[in-house]
Structure 1
Amino acid sequence: MNMKRMGGALAVAFAAASLPILAASPAAADQGDCQYYLHEAGYNVGPKIESACRSGADPWNPAGWIQCYSALVNIGVREGDASAACFKA
């Protein structure tokens, strides 16, 4: 009987310990999602779009979204499309 309780307690402890890891997993969005969104919106994805999406996907760059957005708008991407693509980065 004690082994069952100990096994149950161990299972609960394991589940509780792994929950923060699962909750803190990074979002699946990345540079490729940004580029794919723009491709599907009808834009030709080239080096400038790749660079803009890369800056938006950089987790160490606090200004990444703004840099991504500005770069995309400056090369002729519509504001709404640029905003959505950079949020996907």
Structure 2
Amino acid sequence: MRDKDRTNRRGGALRRTAAAASLTLIAAAVPVALATPASASASDCTAYLKGRGYTIGPGVKRACAVAASPGGPVGDDACWRELLDLHVKESYAIKACDLA
């Protein structure tokens, strides 16, 4: 009978430890899950392109503004296409639109 009591106590301690670990993990994960993404903007996009030697005119500003507006991948795709039409190097266009 004593062995059974010892086993139950160990099992209870293990369950409490597992529960505490789970709560700790949840407590750490909730702020990360609820955090808003880093706020990028059209100015990040234009600053990136300016740093690469491009002139920042109305077309570039418009493309970056499209990417910065809510719309997700659709806005990024429109931004990317507009920048390519303005002869921005493809890899720079992708990066710039991602920054917006």
Match of 1:83 among 81, 94, 100: 94
RMSD of aligned alpha carbons: 1.9
- Structure 1 residue 36 displacement after superposition: 0.2
Does residue 1:46 correspond to 2:57, yes or no? yes
Task: State the Cα deviation string for residues 34-74 of structure 1 (Å, max 9, x = none).
Answer: 00000000000010000000000111455100000000000
The one-letter amino acid of 2:52's match is A
Calculate the TM-score normalised by the size of structure 1: 0.71
Q: Label 1:61 to 1:28 Cα distance change in 2 as closer, same or farther (>3 A).
A: closer
Q: Give the greater-gyration-radius structure (CA).
A: 2
Deviation at 1:28, TM superposition (A): 2.3
Work out which of the residue numbers 15, 18, 36 in structure 1 matches 2:47. Answer: 36
* Cα contact 1:55–1:61 (8 A) shared by 2: no
Distance apart, 1:83 and its partner CA: 0.4
Aligned residue-pair number: 72
Measured in 1, the distance between the counterparts of 2:94 and 2:86 equals 14
